[in-house]
Amino acid sequence: MSTPCRAGHLSDEPDYCSVCGAALGESGSAATRAPGSMDREASGAQGGGITCPSCGEPRVDVDARFCEVCRYDFVDKRPGPPPAVRPVVPLVATAPSPPVAPSAPPGVVPLTGVPSAAAATWELVVAVDPALDTEPDPDSPCPTGEPEVVVRVDKAELLVGRHDETRDIHPELSLRDPGASRRHAKFVTEPDGTVALQDLASTNGTQVNGADIAPGTKRRLRDGDAVTLGRWTRITLRGRH
């Protein structure tokens, strides 16, 4: 005995249409259908009116065997395979990437031989160099046998000059050099960790590696640069790794 489905097919199966797979039953029998409803549903099937009995997805192509969504088999009248489940990958905490050192701005040549603040600390080696005293004064001869003095650069600014208690001038690098001014120069720690020397408009001037610095100007230093001032003072910048 054949049973008509909602699309008008004659099904050989009593529960689902053997042609389109639509569910059959009392609601799908010809005895309970209103006049003309079979023709309307048949025309609606071609426009997607028939739905999948498993997931309810409209069946656009009535000749297709499987549902496009759940893969229901309209011929064998059985649900499709279970949906694939992606494995859950546990989140693994990773160490943050090390910070990248900023590159030099365009047009600026990076200094070589300058250790970073994290890799080295700066020191100033203060020495008396008799070879600098080209115009000796018998009343104030250049001292001999003076040991070197090492001063760590641990402040933002280090003043260099002659101590003067009367004027309340107390340089971090106090010199006994009559050719040095009371406020002769200062060493400045830059934001990037390098060290610069600024002449404070001294009377007799300041030199870096033998070259004069214009009064009041600042000069960035490299490891090993020698600053000379006064009659016999030599100050060498040194980086300790």
**Domains in the chain: boundaries:** 1-82, 121-240
Joined together, the tokens standing for residue 79 give 């649900």
Domain 121-240 has CATH 2.60.200.20: yes
Per-residue pLDDT band for 14 (boundaries 50, 70, 90) equals confident
Instruction: Match 């039953």 to its residue by tokens.
Output: 25
| Burial class of residue 165, CB neighbours in 10 A (0-12, 13-18, 19+) | exposed
Task: Find all residues with CB under 8 Å of 169, minimum gap 6, and list them.
Answer: 161, 162, 163, 182, 183
Q: Which residue has the higher pLDDT, 116 or 200?
A: 200
- Evaluate whether 63 touches 38 at the Cβ level (below 8 Å): no
Has residue 108 got a pLDDT over 50?
no
pTM of the model: 0.51
Tens digit of pLDDT for each residue in 125-161? Answer: 999 999 999 999 999 999 998 999 999 999 999 999 9
Instruction: Match 């011929």 to its residue by tokens.
Output: 75
Cβ count near 36 (within 10 Å): 8
CA gap 179, 162 in Å, rounded: 9
Has residue 33 got a pLDDT over 60?
no
Amino acid type, 193: G
Has residue 47 got a pLDDT over 70?
no
Has residue 238 got a pLDDT over 90?
yes
Joined together, the tokens standing for residue 171 give 């340089």
Strand pairing report for 173-175 and 195-199: unpaired
Q: Which residue has the higher pLDDT, 190 or 92?
A: 190
φ and ψ at residue 56, rounded to 5 degrees: 85, 5
- Evaluate whether 62 touches 50 at the Cβ level (below 8 Å): yes
